[in-house]
Amino acid sequence: MKYIAPIILLFSTISTIACASTVEKKVLTLPVKTLSGKTVHLGEYKGKKPIYLKFWATWCQTCREQMPHLQQIQDKYGKKIKIIAINLGVNDDLNSVKAAKKEFKLTMPIAIDTSGELAQSFNLIGTPYHILIGKEGNIVHKGHKASKALDKKIQLLAASKAKNLPGVTLMSTADSSIEIKNNTKKVTALFFVATWCDWYLKKSRPSMSKNCIDGQNLINKLTIEFPQIQWNGVASRLWTGEKELKNYKKKFAIPYPLTIDSSNSVFLKYRVKSYPTLILVKNGIEVARVEKFDNQKKLTDKLIKHSLH
């Protein structure tokens, strides 16, 4: 498979459909810090300019394929529409983002969603992700494709002829249905993974792919060696449904509970932006975090330290 096709999934935890006006009240107040150091709020453009947000990742193959389209839109409509390219901030860093900016000669403002709150507010479940916000603050488009429908709406927004464009809804998910086993007498281990990390990044980010594989295999081993620790697996909802989760469990023979964080609330709570990540929690407090899994002894020492005291 050349790339992961964007998947729109209806999870069992979806409880409500939020209207555009409800969503915009929150997102318009969130800070967006660009690479230039400038911080803006989307609400600054309400009544002044429409907004085009493009969520992406440097390792996302489809995102890369769409970059020329994004720059073409900037060249053609950049004076009439506020265009911001928002890097997802997952398994990415500032240098990688700057390199992509240079490679594709991007001239629009670029931001990194370091907290994950922007993606959460727009209920992002896969990149690339296009959001169009009308001049009055209503969301008029969401989607993964650089399509003719997207281009037509951008044209109408730029020409101030978008008053009759219907608003779109963003699915709002309830709190995560994941049941985190948290025995106060035990250390709780949360292992955050992405079901596609091992194979999708194999060519574009081989070191990341290896870290995903090494991490999963090591955690499988340690869950057996440290039964005194309460182990919980948390899978990212990005491009992942029950089928992908089932295949991943089978591929790695997962010996502990692993569940999709379908509302992304657990990932957001612990600010997890690197896959895989192991977090140790004791008495409700994070006591250790590990993102590199190339040193078994170092990790074992951490587990011994926190599980025995």
The per-residue pLDDT for 166 is: 81
Give residue 267's domain range. 188-308
Query: Is the separation of the CB atoms in 176 and 262 below 8 Å?
Result: yes
- Dist. CA 270–CA 18, nearest whole Å: 25
**Nearest Cα to Cα of residue 67 among 49, 51, 55:** 55
Domain termination site, one of 145, 173, 201: 173
Angle at 122 between CA 118 and CA 100, to 5 degrees: 55
Express each pLDDT in 160-176 by its tens digit: 887 778 888 776 554 55
The per-residue pLDDT for 167 is: 80
162 and 216 assigned to the same domain = no
Any idea what the CATH number is for the domain that residue 161 is in? 3.40.30.10
92 and 196 assigned to the same domain = no
Domain termination site, one of 118, 139, 173: 173
pTM of the model: 0.87
The per-residue pLDDT for 184 is: 63
The per-residue pLDDT for 206 is: 96
The per-residue pLDDT for 4 is: 46
Q: Is residue 237 part of a domain?
A: yes
Token code pair at residue 94 = 């500032």
- Dist. CA 201–CA 59, nearest whole Å: 7
Residues of the chain with pLDDT under 70: 1-24, 171-179, 181-184, 309
22 and 168 assigned to the same domain = yes
- Dist. CA 111–CA 118, nearest whole Å: 11
The per-residue pLDDT for 177 is: 57
Question: Which amino acid does the sequence have at 277?
Answer: T
Question: Which amino acid does the sequence have at 70?
Answer: L
